[in-house]
Amino acid sequence: MDKLIITGGEQLNGEVRISGAKNSALPILAATLLASEPVTVCNLPHLHDITTMLELLRRMGVDLVIDEKLNVEIDASTIDKLVAPYELVKTMRASILVLGPMVAHFGEAEVSLPGGCAIGSRPVDLHIQGLRAMGAEVVVENGYIHAKTNGRLKGARVFFDTVTVTGTENILMAATLAEGQSVIENAAREPEVVDLAECLIAMGADISGHGTDTIVVNGVEKLHGCRFPVVADRIETGTYLAAVAATGGKIKAKNTNPKILDAVLQKLEEAGAKITCGEDWIELDMEGRRPKAVNVTTAPYPAFPTDMQAQFSAMNAVSEGVSILKETIFENRFMHMQEMIRMGAKINIDGNTAVVEGVEKLQAAPVMATDLRASASLVIAALVAEGDTVIDRIYHIDRGYECIEEKLQLLGARIKRVPS
């Protein structure tokens, strides 16, 4: 198991190329199961979760061809096992996304229930309810979801009583091949859901309303192949912007999409950053200043993302003033703060609210990552700490950030990966 050693105190400056979004790539890879012809997915990030999803497709007998630019051509017509086994699903919850496409295209699926998650419960009941509404027979036994249908799924009205991103994606994919019209209400509006819908449309699906809370799908008999580039990762973009803001530096993030980062960019401007945007780039300049404290309340898109809360808590830890962070999405998402307190951060936690009093500098300490975004916040904390910080259990960070130490080194960070 590797560790990161970071020597803090360097102002970060330079350019960084943003990778494709993992949270868009995973459902799009699952969606290739719907097509009757090969689909080529481009701009995939090189991450462990992507490798796991490709391995899952390969285990099911799906034919994969990867070219020299790491674009993947996927041909689902060779599938011979309609099972997503526990040993793969337990390492990546997004494996549940193959459920809807398999039932819709092949009439059957057996998908392991995902295991627990450090940041809180993420039940799959809504996925199951949606498929049942569309006429699938679904039984949960021995830790597996068994779903099947006689003939095609039927279009249905599916109402989610809580907003669910993967639930929306699963039902959206299933609806593309269902007979008749499906209406998904209280749908997730995230850019990654929109990206999936755009990919499905490129494959011949009839979808409207994506990006709003009501998505309408008119089922078609079959979907064809296409070539589709995955959208840029808005959370990776936000993470580098917050890291550079915390150090008082300047950055140009390239290959990104400013239009899907409004809430984050607005908060960075409140923190004192000068921000300029182009079609596919964002420039942030702190002009050497310390950030100002900013209050944050997480909520579903287009509000401030829960996946950026940890990074902003690290930036607020060294900002001028006092900030209040409220987490409304997950019940256990402040674990990184206990580690930052060990580095000298002044944080008071009460339930789902944290009050952060900015200090001028943090102090290096050995810390441990507990989840993906928590580990990103500890990297930011280490970058603004005096001395050498050792971050353990960084396999979490490798699930969502491609080449994080190389990208930070290009910005001037003193960071290295060492084996434990």
DSSP characters over 347-411: EEEETTEEEEE--S-EE---EE--SHHHHHHHHHHHHTEESEEEEE-THHHHTT-TTHHHHHHHT
Give the model confidence (pLDDT) of 81-90 as tens digits. Answer: 999 999 988 8
Q: By the 8 A CB rule, do 15 and 282 touch?
A: no
Span 270-306, pLDDT tens digits: 999 999 999 999 999 999 999 999 999 999 999 999 9
Look at residue 173 and tell me whether its pLDDT is greater than 50.
yes
Percent of the chain with pLDDT over 70: 98
What pLDDT score does 370 carry? Answer: 87
Is 126's pLDDT higher than 60?
yes
Contact 281, 309 (CB under 8 A): no
Q: Is the pLDDT of residue 122 over 90?
A: no
Q: What CA–CA distance (Å, rounded) separates 253 from 257?
A: 9
C-beta of residue 58 within 8 angstroms of C-beta of residue 29: no
CB 53 within 8 A of CB 41: no
Q: Which two tokens stand for residue 295?
A: 């209050």
Which of the four pLDDT bands, split at 50, 70 and 90, describes residue 119? very low
- 174-209 per-position pLDDT tens digit: 999 999 999 999 999 999 999 999 999 999 999 999
**Looking at the DSSP assignment, which residues form a beta bridge with residue 41?**
72, 228
358-410 residue pLDDT tens: 999 999 999 999 888 889 999 999 999 999 999 999 988 988 899 999 999 99
Q: Which residues of 136-167 are buried (b: 16+ CB within 10 A; e: fewer)?
A: bebeeeeebbebbbeebbbbbebebeebbbbb
Name the pairing type of β-strands 385-386 and 362-363. Answer: parallel
Average of per-residue pLDDT across 412-418: 97
Catalytic residue selected from 42, 117, 277, 403: 117
Q: Is the pLDDT of residue 120 over 80?
A: no
| Tens-place pLDDT, residues 12-53 | 999 999 999 999 999 999 999 999 999 999 999 999 889 999
Q: Check if 199 is active-site.
A: no
Q: What is the largest CA-CA distance in the chain?
A: 65
- With a cut of 70, say whether residue 262 has pLDDT above it: yes
Residue 311 clears pLDDT 50, i.e. is over it: yes
Residues 6 or more apart whose CB falls under 8 angstroms from that of 77 comprise 36, 37, 63
DSSP 106-122: HSEEEEEPP---TT---
Extract the tokens encoding 44: 């995939």
Q: Which residues of 304-328 are buried (b: 16+ CB within 10 A; e: fewer)?
A: bbbbbbbbbbbbbbbbeeebebebb
pTM value > 0.75: yes
Instruction: Indicate the helix (H) or strand (E) that contains 296.
Output: strand 296-297
- Residue 302, preceding peptide bond in cis (omega within 30° of 0): yes
Which sign, positive or negative, has the C-alpha torsion 121, 127, 132, 136?
negative
Whole-number average pLDDT of the chain: 95
